[in-house]
Amino acid sequence: MISISRLSFSFGKQLALKDINFSMRQGEFVFLCGPSGAGKTTFMRILHGALAVQRGKVDVAGYNMNTLSENRKHFLRRDVSVVYQDFKILPDQNVFANVELPLKVRGVARHIIDKRVRAVLRSLQLDKKAQTLCEELSGGEQQRVAVARAVVVKPKLLLADEPTGNLDRDLAMRMMDIFQQFHKFGTSIMIATHNQEILERMPCARIVTLENGVMHEERLMHGVTP
């Protein structure tokens, strides 16, 4: 699903990612941990084509990110969904309009859009807010809208940047359940987080850490039960 060799990335003089080698098989569930400023968001933006590869080779979902032109990036983004740390939802539109957006740009038929969006909103307990403008939502609600928008298309690969950052414990756990469900149906998932609790919730997940732009393979959590 992802294969990266010798990836480095810098903002001007500041090196954000250093010589990263990483690969992820299809159907894998990976946690990307690390302190603030370690480069997690930068890493995910590169995987999504929002930042261009500067050095190294990056391959995501069968797309060579070194050569993928701007005109063809939407093909990648139809296979790879992202939950952004800052949500990137449209504040002046309602919840439903935001969640249906990726289906609309794919030209999905209206009745299928309605069905799928409703189902996703229900599973994230947003069905009562469907007609509410996003700027009137709380941080946690906005985050759930961002997650709903990412999973509604049933992506091959889901990248989520701190998807539980604004949620209370209960909602965070519910969110992890949803991710787990999608994982069961074959979606590969990478979640950036520093929430220790959700790590423990997913005992068979693989954990990698970023620290100052350097990646370490942490451990495979086997048999740790909460």
Ligand X SMILES: Nc1ncnc2c1ncn2[C@@H]1O[C@H](COP(=O)(O)OP(=O)(O)OP(=O)(O)O)[C@@H](O)[C@H]1O
> What residue ranges bind Mg ion (CB under 5 A)?
40-41, 85
Contacts of 14 (CB under 8 A, 6+ apart): none
CA distance 157 to 27: 8
The CA-based angle 214-48-13, given to 5 degrees, is 45
State the binding partner of 34 from ligand X, Mg ion, another protein, none, CB within 5 to 8 A by kind. ligand X
User: Shortest approach of ligand X to residue 151 CB, angstroms?
Assistant: 21
Q: Which amino acid is at 47?
A: L
Nearer to another protein, 78 or 194 (CB): 78
Of 38-46, 106-114, 166-174, 199-207, the window that binds ligand X (rule: CB under 6 A) is: 38-46
Q: Single out the residue of 34, 102, 163, 213 in contact with another protein (rule: CB under 8 A).
A: 102
172 binds another protein, rule: CB under 8 A:
no
Q: By rule CB under 8 A, what string of x and - marks binding of each residue 81-100 to another protein?
A: xx-x---xxx----------
Buried b or exposed e, range 148-174, using 16+ CB within 10 angstroms: bbbbbbebbbbbbbbbbebbeeebbeb
Contact 94, 134 (CB under 8 A): yes
101 binds another protein, rule: CB under 8 A:
yes
Nearer to Mg ion, 85 or 193 (CB): 85
Nearer to ligand X, 34 or 56 (CB): 34
- Locus of tokens 């070194």: 66
Contact 192, 40 (CB under 8 A): yes
Q: Single out the residue of 40, 48, 129, 206 in contact with another protein (rule: CB under 8 A).
A: 48
Burial class for 224, CB neighbours closer than 10 Å (0-12, 13-18, 19+): exposed
36 binds ligand X, rule: CB under 6 A:
yes
Q: By rule CB under 8 A, what string of x and - marks binding of each residue 131-160 to another protein?
A: ------------------x---x-------
Count of residues interacting with another protein (CB under 8 A): 21
Contacts of 22 (CB under 8 A, 6+ apart): 2, 3, 4, 7, 208, 215
Residue 215 bridge partners (DSSP):
210
Of 9-17, 123-131, 141-149, 169-177, the window that binds ligand X (rule: CB under 6 A) is: 9-17
Q: Which residues bind another protein (CB under 8 A)?
A: 48, 50, 70-71, 73-74, 77-78, 81-82, 84, 88-90, 101-102, 105-107, 149, 153
